[in-house]
Amino acid sequence: MVKICCIGAGYVGGPTMAMIAFKCPDIQVVVVDISAPRINAWNSDRLPIFEPGLDDVVRSCRNNNLFFSTDVESHVADADIIFVSVNTPTKTRGLGAGKAADLTYWESAARMIAEVAKSDKIVVEKSTVPVKTAEAIEKILTHNSRGINFQILSNPEFLAEGTAIDDLANPDRVLIGGRETPEGQKAVAALKDVYAHWVPEDRIITMNLWSAELSKLAANAILAQRISSINAMSALCEATGADVSEVAYAVGKDSRIGHKFLNASVGFGGSCFQKDILNLVYICECNGLIEVANYWKQVVQINDYQKARFVNRVVSSMFNTVSGKKIAILGFAFKKDTGDTRETPAIDVCQGLLGDKAQLCIYDPQVTEEQIRRDLVTSKFDWDHPQHLVVPPGSPTSNKNDTVRVTGDAYEAAKGAHGICIMTEWEEFKLLDYERIYQGMEKPAFVFDGRNVVKPEELRKIGFIVYSVGKPLDP
Ligand code: NAD
């Protein structure tokens, strides 16, 4: 029986390994993590992440051929194939701070593998890493290999949170990059055999290591670029009276372009897009490709501009101040169907409004109060001062108890509010009884729709003043 061990039981390691176990009953899969609370949650009825369909997949194979454990070293030693799916955040200090990937977790995982391995291993990069990382990992693994053969493969993950189970069950493609040596190709074939349990052969693409590593960064950069492109258009639409939904529809009808990722919004979030583009910028700079770096930097800058533009719109519409005004924040996750708030635009918008002394009441169906409070005192990237800026003590967001409330109900959040900001495209926000909400609000009552989920004309009929991204403003 092939034995797989995955280091890192996060948003990628957990669902990805659950799918492998689900599709491959003849393979034993153990997911290990240094975080005991995370592993305990994976072994409980309340999984550590919310992802539609995940519970069923985990329940059907947990403790059969899928296991979660904190006993990292013994399971690594026992495995034939080791996936490494640890976090690779942006470096916060030192060389490359604010842009380069922090590979500390990766390096310590690689050192541990080298130390505990007693038999040949295939080590798979599942985390998103800078191109050429495999070279560094190979050095660490082979430095004191005691005759053990380590083959390193790149197998980047393309799942999107919120649709992870479907993405994993029906991937557009699976990339496997390996060395072109006979041992390298043998390792590629072994990993291909795993995916071949359910992925059609023409969707399993093999390539050289560096192409596979770079493809992941390229895919995320191009997806984010589409969002920044349509968001840049949304600003022009607002200035001219064009409607960004109509423009996006017309543009997407072109079969060379297509409709996906052309929804204007308050901006993209999530743990990957900004991090991976910053990393790409850094790699370009390190290779002396300054113009290329500047090109990709612009994708993040437009995203920051879009978030700032949204805050400015809220404040300027509400008679140039939100000081002391109650604003309901509907949605805090970076997208629907996830409880993940990493880099969510809601953080920037809330911080911007708190900076103007607004009082916020926040509701999200999947995000906890603890997450929201933690997120509102963390950091913000600043291009002009490229280091992590922690909100200083005494600033409005550091003393949040009286300025931020978190509630479990959208109607409660909106009660007595002067305005509502919709930050996440949860389906339930389309279905709210806006008549009822309007009755309970201060007048004039504003809706600022950062995800274009409501129908502005219907809300205007009720009496709301409505702002939707890239759409004609109130008559
Ligand atoms: P995560 O923070 O949710 O999970 C990483 C886990 O690794 C954590 O639980 C952490 O405790 C564990 N870990 C760190 N060092 C460890 C060690 N030495 N031994 C054992 N466990 C260790 O991160 P994630 O969202 O799952 O992302 C993982 C990687 O996948 C990142 O490189 C990310 O860029 C990439 N990725 C993420 C997504 C996504 O949607 N989240 C999609 C594709 C790729």
What's the gap between Cα 108 and its chain centre?
23
pLDDT at 378: 64
Secondary structure class of 267 (helix, strand, coil): coil
Give nearest CA residue, ligand 1 atom 6: 8
Ligand 1 within 6 A of CB of 217? no
181 is in an annotated binding site: no
292 is in an annotated binding site: no
Q: What is the mean pLDDT of the chain?
A: 94
Check pLDDT > 60 for residue 393.
no
CB 353 within 8 A of CB 322: yes
Ligand 1 within 6 A of CB of 105? yes
| 123/190 Cα distance (integer angstroms) | 12
The per-residue pLDDT for range 127-163, each reduced to its tens digit, is: 999 999 999 999 999 987 789 999 999 999 999 999 9
Secondary structure class of 389 (helix, strand, coil): strand
CB 82 within 8 A of CB 117: no
Task: Give the ipTM of the model, two decimals please.
Answer: 0.99
CA 94 – ligand 1 centroid, Å:
22
CA 59 – ligand 1 centroid, Å:
22
The per-residue pLDDT for range 10-50, each reduced to its tens digit, is: 999 999 999 999 999 999 999 999 999 999 999 999 999 99
CB 219 within 8 A of CB 131: no
pLDDT at 402: 64
Give the catalytic positions in this structure.
272
Assign 474 a pLDDT band (cuts: 50, 70, 90). Answer: confident
Check pLDDT > 70 for residue 383.
no
The per-residue pLDDT for range 337-363, each reduced to its tens digit, is: 999 999 999 999 999 999 999 999 999
The per-residue pLDDT for range 446-457, each reduced to its tens digit, is: 999 999 999 999
| 16/437 Cα distance (integer angstroms) | 41
Of residues 377, 371, 374, the one with CA closest to residue 389: 377
Which tokens hold the place of 32? 């290990």
Q: What is the pTM of this model?
A: 0.94
E strand spans, 101-163: 121-125, 150-154
467 is in an annotated binding site: no
H-only helix segments in 196-289? 209-240, 244-252, 273-286
Assign 422 a pLDDT band (cuts: 50, 70, 90). Answer: very high
24 is in an annotated binding site: no
CA 89 – ligand 1 centroid, Å:
9
| 121/118 Cα distance (integer angstroms) | 9
Ligand 1 within 6 A of CB of 70? no
Ligand 1 within 6 A of CB of 10? yes
Give nearest CA residue, ligand 1 atom 4: 10
CA 127 – ligand 1 centroid, Å:
7
Q: Which long-range contacts (CB under 8 A, 24 or more apart) does 179-183 make?
A: 179/151, 179/152, 179/209, 180/208, 183/149, 183/151
Which value, to the nearest 10 degrees, does the dihedral of the CA atoms of residues 206, 211, 213, 218 take?
-120
Q: Which atom of ligand 1 is nearest to the CA of 128?
A: 32
Ligand 1 within 6 A of CB of 127? yes
CATH numbers and ranges of domains, the chain: 3-199 (3.40.50.720), 243-468 (3.40.50.720)
Which tokens hold the place of 453? 């989920």
CA 8 – ligand 1 centroid, Å:
6
H-only helix segments in 11-120? 13-23, 36-42, 54-61, 72-78, 104-116
| 157/162 Cα distance (integer angstroms) | 14
Ligand 1 within 6 A of CB of 184? no
CB 313 within 8 A of CB 448: yes
CB 51 within 8 A of CB 15: yes
Q: Which residue has the tokens 């919310």?
A: 50
pLDDT at 414: 98
